């Protein structure tokens, strides 16, 4: 069974860079798109961006200037960096995976990790 697990600091200072890693177990990272989605407390879901295992990325235009997603196939991990964070970036961050070769819907999700932006 595929499992995803987010890891990274739970507290980030304003203007700094948020960094999270998603570790994939129970399956290969190849042939799939890997996605980051966030949810501010009490609010809805926002798609941040995706990376194909080959390294091709797609980002939400609203965040594109601040987002970098990368993949390390040797470690079965992919990562998110969000620069110049503000309080508006406080959210639960989820990593997710869809069906093979498709970035359409998300079957497998991590448990989510709350990142708070505060000094």
Partner 1 sequence: DIQMTQSPSSLSASVGDRVTITCQASQDISNYLNWYQQKPGKAPKLLIYDASNLETGVPSRFSGSGSGTDFTFTISTLQPADIATYYCQQYDNLPPTFGPGTKVDIK
**Strands ordered across the beta sheet of 3-7:** 3-7, 18-25, 77-82, 67-72
* Smallest gap from residue 104 Cβ to partner 1 (A): 5
Which of 59, 79 has the CB closer to partner 1? Answer: 59
Whichever of 50 and 77 has its CB closer to partner 1, that residue is 50
Pair 18, 85: CB distance under 8 Å: yes
Alpha-carbon Rg for the chain in angstroms: 13
Residues 70-109 that bind partner 1 (CB under 8 A): 94, 96, 103-107, 109
Q: How many CB atoms sit inside 10 A of residue 14's CB?
A: 12
- List 19, 57, 60, 83, residue binding partner 1 (CB under 8 A): 60
What residues line the site for partner 1 (CB under 8 A)? 44-47, 49, 58-62, 94, 96, 103-107, 109-112
């Amino acid at each position: 069974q595929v499992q995803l697990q987010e890891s990274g600091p739970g507290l980030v200072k304003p203007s700094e860079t948020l960094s999270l890693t998603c570790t994939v177990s129970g399956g290969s990272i190849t042939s799939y798109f890997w996605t980051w989605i966030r949810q501010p407390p009490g609010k809805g879901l926002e798609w941040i961006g995706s990376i194909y295992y080959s390294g091709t990325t797609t980002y939400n235009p609203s965040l594109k200037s601040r987002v970098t997603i990368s993949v390390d196939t040797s470690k079965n991990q992919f990562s998110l960096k969000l620069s110049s964070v503000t309080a508006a970036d406080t959210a639960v961050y989820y990593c997710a995976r869809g069906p093979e070769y498709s970035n359409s819907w998300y079957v497998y999700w991590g448990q989510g990790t709350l990142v708070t932006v505060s000094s």
